[in-house]
Structure 1
Amino acid sequence: MIDGPYFVLTVLGAVTCALVAGVFIGFSTFVMRGLAALPSPQGIAAMNAINVTAVRPPFMAVFMGATGVSVVLAVVTFVVWPDEGAVELLLGCALYLFGCFGVTVVANVPRNNELAKVDAASESGAEYWRTYVAEWTMWNHIRTGAATAATVSFILGLT
């Protein structure tokens, strides 16, 4: 049975993953659509501003907190190996670490870095913006699903 600090750690994992999923679903369902509807120079400027403000402590504490909790929870689960819930907890950790954190590092952040370099007023900037919106949003859907599934897996690990 999962109890004590292990229980608290698992609840913290579920809550932080759910918060991250909530932020990401907002981007997938309306933020990116709103930005895409703007003329490309304004959309690029707005997204670049969002990308700068996203790496500040309020969001990063939750995003990196979920990452840290997932790592610690995976290690503790391997060491303790509870009679019930181990598979669900490890699945939740893997979903968040690979499907959310990993996708962010290998797919979303590189696109953000490229967007910061484009000339927003140029035709090539407008072309990259269209590609960026489609690709970044697709990868964001994956992050949203992974963080949501991780939340569900942590909850299932507790039941």
Structure 2
Amino acid sequence: MGTLTLIAVTATGLMAGVFFAFSVAVMPGLADLPAADARAAMRRINARIQNPVFLLLFLGTAVLCGIEVFQGRIVGGLLYIVGCLLLTMVVNVPMNNRLERTDDAYWPAYLRTWTLWNHVRAVACAGATVTLLLGF
């Protein structure tokens, strides 16, 4: 296994961990709060996650996975690119933006749908980790 692949495996695993933690701890914790408090907390989380360390990991992993696709590890690379990067841009980010513009009544639908798609991102990242590790 080459150095870039090893870094991609590590990075996809880290991203799987981020999404897993949100699915099993952060979102259930927010679900226990009143809608106004949960929405306010999630809005802060969404603002704070946009930091250089997270963005380097999130976007840098996509670049590495793109390289992996061109080196023949197509399944692993595409699992991350489609199941994490593309899904985030098409589903989770628009939902986060809507959360900024709406009132607390949107929170229950946001919580349910956002978390469902976050589960998908966690599984896609874990799948990318395993398939890259196996050379696919």
Same topology, TM > 0.5: yes
Give aligned pairs, total: 136
2:54 alignment partner in structure 1: 59
Cα deviation, 1:23-68, whole Å, max 9, x if unaligned, reads 0000001100001110111100000000001111111111111111
Residue from 115, 125, 130 that aligns with 1:137: 115
Could you tell me which runs of 5 or more consecutive residues in structure 1 were left unpaired when the two chains were aligned: 78-85, 120-124
CA distance in 1, matches of 2:48, 2:109: 22
Residue in 1 aligned with 2:18? Answer: 23
Matched, 1:156 2:134: yes
Q: Map Cα deviations across residues 124-145 of structure 1 (whole Å, 9 max, x no partner).
A: x2x3100000000000000000
Cα displacement (A) at 1:20: 0.5
TM-score, normalised via structure 1 length: 0.82
Deviation at 1:72, TM superposition (A): 1.8
Taking structure 2 as the reference length, what is the TM-score of the superposition? 0.96
Q: Which structure 2 residues correspond to residues 46-125 of structure 1 after superposition, within 5 A?
A: 46-75=41-70, 77=71, 86=72, 89-119=73-103, 125=104
Following TM superposition, the consecutive aligned residue runs of length 4 or more in structure 1 with deviations greater than 4 angstroms are none
CA apart distance, 1:90: 0.8
Distance 1:112 1:103 in 2: 13
One of 6, 9, 14 as aligned partner of 2:4 = 9
Query: How far apart, CA to CA, are the structure 2 residues paired with 1:71 and 1:154?
Result: 12
In structure 1, give the amino acid aligned to 2:119.
H
Q: Is the CA contact 2:31–2:38 (under 8 Å) kept in the aligned structure 1?
A: yes
Identity %: 40
In structure 1, C-alpha distance between the alignment counterparts of 2:21 and 2:84, rounded to whole Å: 15
Question: Could you say which structure has the larger radius of gyration?
Answer: 1
Cα distance between partner residues in 2 of 1:94 and 1:72: 10
CA distance in 2, matches of 1:69, 1:56: 19
